[in-house]
Structure 1
Amino acid sequence: MAHNIYTIGHSSHDLITFFSILKRYNIEEIIDIRRSPRSNHNPNFNIDQLKEKCLLKYSFQGDILGGRRRRRKSLDNLNNGLIDSDSHAYADHMQRNEFKKCVNDLVLSSQSSSSVVLMCSENNPEQCHRLLLADYLCHVHHIHVIHILFNGETCEHQLNPLARLDEKNNTCIYPSISLI
């Protein structure tokens, strides 16, 4: 059965505003998917501060689910539809077994919680690896992903038109489009 998972970027919010936005959506758990859970611009979102002041269940999974990855040459052209090198590298990372296992565990645990949010730092989900992770959740796990925007409003995740379900490997890929 499909259920919702939210995403959010903490951006420049203070903690009070951030938690009040999450409260609106009855969020019970924050899963931190930043590769480096520290911020020079917003130190109140450093991992130690969040663990100390978080009003919700908090876990860090940025080591596996975080962005800023290197391309995997062994995958050849699997994700060549993505022109942006950071996006391409993250899509390559999504093919790893450790990534798939982590997402499977995330989906299983999210079924027992009324609301889970995947948190990164980037304000705009369209400029963040959350977008690719959302494609993966939608395609592979049939999860309804909702992005919480800076102003607290939400938008439903729209699949990247290049995203394809690779049924053989049960993953999401981004092949280049053939014009022929």
Structure 2
Amino acid sequence: MEYKCYTIGYSGIKIERFIEILKERNINCVIDVRSTPYSKYVPEYNKEELKKSLKKNNIVYSNFNKEFGARRTEDEVYSEDEIVDFEKTLKLDIFNDGVKRLKIGYEKGYNIVLMCSEKNPLDCHRFSMVSKGLNNKRFKIIHILEDNKEISNENLEEEMVAKFFPNYMQINLFEKSRSYSELLKDAYRKTNEIVGYSRKKENIED
């Protein structure tokens, strides 16, 4: 069985339009993957307010910050540079418990979307960490973009590879060619370095 799972970032979307977008796809369950389910700038997306708005529209809200959040409390998933390593995070028991809970949700009839704040999934761990982990476990991921268009996880991966390796489709006669899978792995690593939560940055900001 394959599970179809959406993702969305709410930045720049009014709550009324957000709910319309969900209803257009018959989505009846929002999984919040923010580490801290609150917004300084758009309070309607704070956990309590969002839950109320969704409930009025018969949409269930659930928070998976411990399972799928970007800011991790487990010391073992941090790199030497104090950045969360997504590959290590995907191996955590709690992450895989979250995957199991998602599957149970689908078996109960829920149509699920993973929600975070960043409008572009390439800038968010919901793509480079969570979707990557789910994609390996029989999930078909569809990302809802800012203009309400959709892009498959595979096509978004191609965009990510092109971002870091713009000439990857061209034959280079002077360098040993690299396979797409090698480039994809490297692109995920580079994205992790950019998107991953950093303890060093937190200390600087503090």
Q: TM-score, normalised by structure 2?
A: 0.68
In 1, distance between residues paired with 2:77 and 2:70?
A: 19
For the pair 1:18 / 2:14, whether they are aligned, the reply is no
Map of 1:92 onto structure 2:
88
Alignment of 1:121-140 (within 5 A): 121-131=117-127, 132-139=129-136
> Aligned match of 2:67 in 64, 81, 106?
64
Residue 39 of structure 1 aligns to which amino acid in structure 2? S
Matched, 1:162 2:185: yes
Residue-by-residue CA offset, 1:121-169 (whole Å, 9 max, x unaligned): 1111111111121111111x11100000111111000257218xxxxxx
Larger-Rg structure: 2
Gaps of 5+ in 2: 161-183, 190-206
Consecutive unaligned residues in structure 1, runs of 5 or more: 78-83, 164-172, 175-180
Where do residues 66-81 of structure 1 align in structure 2 (5 Å cutoff)? 66-69=69-72, 72-73=75-76
> Residue deviations 1:36-59, cap 9 Å, x none?
000011110000101222121111
Match for residue 30 of structure 2? 30
Which of the two has greater helix per residue?
2
Please state how far the C-alpha of 1:108 moved relative to its aligned partner: 2.4
Question: Residue 125 of structure 1 contacts residue 147 of structure 1 at CA under 8 Å; is this kept in 2?
Answer: yes
* Deviation of the 1:73 alpha carbon: 4.7
Match of 1:52 in 2: 52
- Matched residue, 1:43: 43
CA RMSD of aligned residues (A): 2.6
Distance in 1, Cα, partners of 2:116 & 2:78:
26
Instruction: State whether residues 78 and 85 of structure 2, in contact with CA within 8 Å, keep that contact through their aligned partners in structure 1.
Output: no
What displacement does 1:103 show? 1.3
CA distance in 2, matches of 1:17, 1:146: 19
The answer to whether the 8 Å contact 1:12/1:42 transfers is no
Contact 1:70 1:90 in 2 (8 A): no
1:145 to 108, 122, 141: 141
1:64 Cα deviation from its structure 2 partner: 2.0
Pair 75,14 (structure 1): closer, same or farther in 2 beyond 3 Å? closer
The percent of aligned pairs where both chains have the same amino acid is 29
Once the two structures are superposed, residues 17-43 of structure 1 have per-residue CA deviations (whole angstroms, 9 ceiling, x without a partner) of 101111111101101111100001111
TM, length-normalised to structure 1: 0.77
Structure holding more strand per residue: 1
Paired residues, number:
157
With 121-130 and 102-111 compared, the bigger mean Cα shift is at 102-111
Quote how far apart the aligned CAs of 1:12 are.
2.1
Q: Per the alignment, in what secondary structure is the counterpart of residue 52 of structure 2?
A: helix
